Amino acid sequence: MKKSKRVVVVGSSNTDMIVNVERIPAPGETILGGEFSMAAGGKGANQAVAVARIGGDASLVARVGDDTFGNQAIENFRKDGIDVSQVKIDESEASGVALINVAASGENSISVASGANSKLSENDVEAAAAAIESAGAVLTQLETPLETVERLVRLSKEKGVPLILNPAPARALSDELLKDVAVITPNESEAEILTGIKVIDVSTAKQAAASLREKGVGVVIITLGAKGAYVSCEDHEQLIEGFPVEPIDTTAAGDTFNGAFASEMAKGELSILDMIRFANAAAAMSVTRAGAQPSIPRRGEVERFLKSGKIEEMR
């Protein structure tokens, strides 16, 4: 089947309900005076939004509940131009929700009800087989059941479509799974959980990357926050420096990085080093803006930033 430049993103969709409060309440305690805000989130949804804004062609495979949050999420995906034909409405579970308390000190406490995300199944992956087969790349994370991720990894391998695994939230993974992953993109703490090697600098990133490559992963990209990203693959072994910016809110930096990288990988026009440089630029822009999905830049903005080194005000 002819490959397109489309990225199929398989993952979670949540609604984040955030209360900014003086301090995190202790068990049994009620604290008045908080300020409430609500935002679309979930790593799958954030990364699909990043692909749509930066690459242009995104399909999302996900589950939401038959409720206001689910319908709102689908509406937002449509507005971003995401193909939602594989977003299923689950009759038995509520939409995924994260209840987030943020204290004045910046500390937070988060309870997540995965709801419909926990029902994203191997069958859902199989139902998306035709879309996966014709895609330029597949992108997934670990906020949905592991069996679903395993099925997706095997299916992508069978169809010859490169799969990018953003192993977040952190958990250990089997060698059986890792051997079929084309690209893995852990941050420092995820790399440590995967390899047992504490990643604090370029030399420890190199060791952790080598350990993942030994397990058969084709390309290892360890994101290192403001420092940028370390890549290890057949032809390269190096740090690709991040862009110096004034960070305001690093939420969704990793999601923006992954969405931008996956878009470029599906297009296949740049070298791997330039794909990572582009992803560093998009992610750097996202940390200069508040929020998760609202902070994700559009392609034109990233291209102008790469040319001028200046970030435009958000419209």
Q: How many CB atoms lie within 10 A of CB 28?
A: 5
Residue nearest to ligand ADP (CB): 254
Q: How far is the CB of 201 from ligand ADP (least distance, A)?
A: 13
Rounded-to-5 percentages of helix, strand, coil across the chain? 40, 25, 35
Size of the site for ligand ADP (CB under 6 A): 19
CB 136 within 8 A of CB 120: no
Contacting ligand ADP within 279-308 (CB under 6 A): 280, 283-284, 287
Query: Which one of residues 19, 99, 226, 233 is an interface residue with ligand ADP (CB under 6 A)?
Result: 226
Q: Does 19 bind ligand ADP (CB under 6 A)?
A: no
Q: How far is the CB of 27 from ligand ADP (least distance, A)?
A: 29
DSSP state string for 185-223: --BHHHHHHHHS----SHHHHHHHHHHHHHTT-SEEEEE
Q: Does 228 bind ligand ADP (CB under 6 A)?
A: yes
Joined tokens for residue 191:
């790399």
Name the residue among 11, 9, 16 with its Cα closest to residue 120: 11
Q: How far apart are the first and last CA of the chain?
A: 40
Query: Which one of residues 225, 267, 299, 303 is an interface residue with ligand ADP (CB under 6 A)?
Result: 225
Query: Which one of residues 131, 245, 273, 306 is an interface residue with ligand ADP (CB under 6 A)?
Result: 245
Query: Which one of residues 182, 253, 272, 311 is an interface residue with ligand ADP (CB under 6 A)?
Result: 253
Taking residues 183 to 212 in sequence order and writing x for each that binds ligand ADP by CB under 6 A, - otherwise, the string is: ----x-------------------------
In this structure, the strands spanning 228-232 and 237-241 are: antiparallel
Q: Which of 57, 83, 180, 255 is catalytic?
A: 255
Residue 57 annotated in active site: no
Q: Does 243 bind ligand ADP (CB under 6 A)?
A: yes
Cα–Cα distance measured from residue 122 to residue 133, given in angstroms and rounded to the nearest whole number: 16
Joined tokens for residue 182:
């084309």
Q: Which stretch binds ligand ADP (CB under 6 A): 16-24, 29-37, 103-111, 246-254?
A: 246-254
Cα–Cα distance measured from residue 265 to residue 166, given in angstroms and rounded to the nearest whole number: 14
Active-site positions read: 255
